[in-house]
Amino acid sequence: MFIVTGGAGFIGANLVRALNAAGHDDILVVDELTNGRKFTNLAGARFADYLDRDDFRERLQAGEGFGKVEAFFHQGACSDTTEWDGRYMMDTNFEYSKDVFRWCGQKGVPLVYASSAAVYGTSTEFREQGSGEVPLNVYGWSKLVFDQWLRRQVGEANIPVTGLRYFNVYGPHEAHKGRMASVIHHFSRQIRETGKVRLFAGSHGHGDGEQRRDFIHVSDIVKVNLWAAGRTAPGIFNVGTGKSRSFNDAARAVIAWHGKGEIEYIPFPDDLRSAYQAFTEADLTTLRAAGYDGAFTSLEDGVRLTLDAGAAAAA
């Protein structure tokens, strides 16, 4: 059996589908379905059981078993970077993750968990251990605190634990995320609705629309998760393409797919200036040194795959 928390969410649902494609359907999906529309992310997927997040946590804390578990993929979290309820964020992203780690240690189950490039804030240094770990919001801080806590535990753990710091992920099954969905999703919606993609004018030393991010397709995130599940040593790794691309590049790729549209530049909001990541680019040195040699999907190919999938789902 495999356990996937956040299994009805964006990355979790794609991971469940990838496990299905590899011939696995003995999967326990854990999520919280207050937003019942998330069910569509798993429509057609195969899994053995579903548990509500809170019920599952109670069973973890009680030390209950779920049979022989090959790997635990902990994707569940509050990923809303605009959420400032620190108590809620730390309980959901930090305390819950500690419960997961302790259960995996008791049961001898390999753990792969989702961290985030939000731990780097406005830094231009994207190494897994260094002075660049300065988050801008409580979401990024909650992820960093767990990474730091885990580093203190790993020496005593009897399981391999792998943390994956996701950069800017996009792809199918993210529509439910609303404003937290990727810019690829929003750019496509803007073209359908207005014929224009709205980008920020120049800021932070970048020209109009030239702010840059490391955009990574969700299929590559899934591949790294599956690779990490087979590791025998602990580690925390950046997961991006290793190449930043501008928002102009992303917008042009979406416009090319639609065969129409134009870019409109809007003033950069003053209240966002001090809390905005204008540049991200994963340093993949540690990931490559650990043995991951997979290629990453180009932005243009990833946009095409994403929008093709959306069009097929809507047909």
Catalytic residues: 139, 177
Rounded Cα–Cα distance for residues 32 and 76 (Å):
9
Rounded Cα–Cα distance for residues 302 and 188 (Å):
13
Question: Please, which residues have CB within 8 angstroms of residue 189's CB and are 6 or more apart in sequence?
Answer: none
Indicate the DSSP class of residue 279: B
Residue 287 near residue 168, CB atoms below 8 Å:
no
Q: Is 63 exposed, middle or buried (0-12, 13-18, 19+ CB in 10 A)?
A: exposed
Cα dihedral sign, 276-282-286-291 = positive
Neighbours of 44 (CB within 10 A): 8
Rounded Cα–Cα distance for residues 64 and 152 (Å):
25
Rounded Cα–Cα distance for residues 79 and 166 (Å):
11
Instruction: State the residue for tokens 């798993």.
Output: 42
Residue 173 near residue 10, CB atoms below 8 Å:
yes
Residue 115 near residue 165, CB atoms below 8 Å:
yes
Q: How far apart are the first and last CA of the chain?
A: 34
Q: How far is CA 17 from CA 176, 222, 229, 256, 271, in A?
A: 17, 10, 16, 28, 40
Neighbours of 206 (CB within 10 A): 18
